[in-house]
Amino acid sequence: MNRAELLTFHVLRSGMEAFFSITLLSLSVSGLALLIASGLGFPLGAWLALYPVPAKRLWELLVFTGMGLPPVVVGLAVYLLLSRSGPLGGLGWLFTPPAMITAQVIIALPMVIGLTQSAIESLDPNLRLQLRALGASPPQIVMTLMIEARGGILAAIIAAFGSIISEVGAVMLVGGNIEGQTRVLTTAIVLETRQGNFELALALGAVLLSLTFLINFGLTKLSQPR
């Protein structure tokens, strides 16, 4: 192998490494954000759907408003919170993955809450009574209703995941698109497009689409009736 070939091999290998690290970071940031948003959003959605919550209409209005929040505004708010002079500046999270996860949780949470609530409310209202008549305890009732509403809850997960994995404004603002640290698929696509590397930008876009397809396929399989 001559010097030119060695150099080409080295460039290709380092390119592939960067490519995998970007994909892995995208998946881990959005995956963790989705996990946190689901952990918070499922119980909150069920609470709104099943219990006489005080000021329920106001909460619903806030959730629906949150579902339409522009990601770049979320990014700006998180940026201000985490910046050195901000109230959470002491955490030192700005331009790190935790800042990106925080922003994505804020984007995904209203979607998970609102769609979970809607999925549970769309069930037969007499189902709760039937479950109780079969001897279900209150936690067992909530769990069963969530399983019964799995189609709608899956839609919540898919919608939330789709919105955060494809989101660019917030992660760009709070992550800074730092190579090897906070560069994810969407921010890399923006960068490569600006630099005129359209083939690479398209390849990254194809990876993003494939990942989204595979994850949605897996989630849909999971929701099939037993």
Partner 1 sequence: MLYQLKNIEHRYGARLVLKLETLSVKRGEALALVGPSGAGKSTLLRLLNFLEAPTAGEIVFDGETITPEAPLSVVRRITTVFQRPILLNRSVRANVVYGLELRGLRDEARVAAALQQVGLQEFANAPAHKLSGGEQQRAALARALALKPEVLLLDEPTANLDPYNVNLIEQIVREQNQTQGATVVLVTHNLFQAKRLASRTGLLLNGELIELASTEDFFNAPQDPRTAAFVQGKMVW
Which residues contact partner 1 by CB under 8 A?
Answer: 124, 126-127, 129-130, 132-137, 140, 144, 148, 225-226
**CB of 86: closest distance to partner 1 in angstroms?**
47
Length of the chain: 226
Instruction: Take residue 120 and report the two structure tokens written for it.
Output: 């549970």
Cβ closer to partner 1: 13 or 132? 132
Instruction: Take residue 179 and report the two structure tokens written for it.
Output: 């190579």
**CB of 123: closest distance to partner 1 in angstroms?**
9
- Whole-Å CA distances, 108 to 47, 55, 70, 74, 213: 18, 23, 12, 11, 18
Q: Which helix (H) or strand (E) holds 34?
A: helix 3-50
Cβ closer to partner 1: 94 or 145? 145
Cβ closer to partner 1: 120 or 204? 120
**CB of 142: closest distance to partner 1 in angstroms?**
13
Q: Which helix (H) or strand (E) holds 126?
A: none
Dmax (CA) for the chain in angstroms is: 79
Cβ closer to partner 1: 144 or 193? 144
Nearest to 19 by CA among 199, 174, 218, 170: 199
Gap between the Cα atoms of 102 and 37, Å rounded: 10
Gap between the Cα atoms of 171 and 99, Å rounded: 8
**CB of 111: closest distance to partner 1 in angstroms?**
23
Cβ closer to partner 1: 14 or 137? 137
**CB of 143: closest distance to partner 1 in angstroms?**
10
Residue type, 161: F
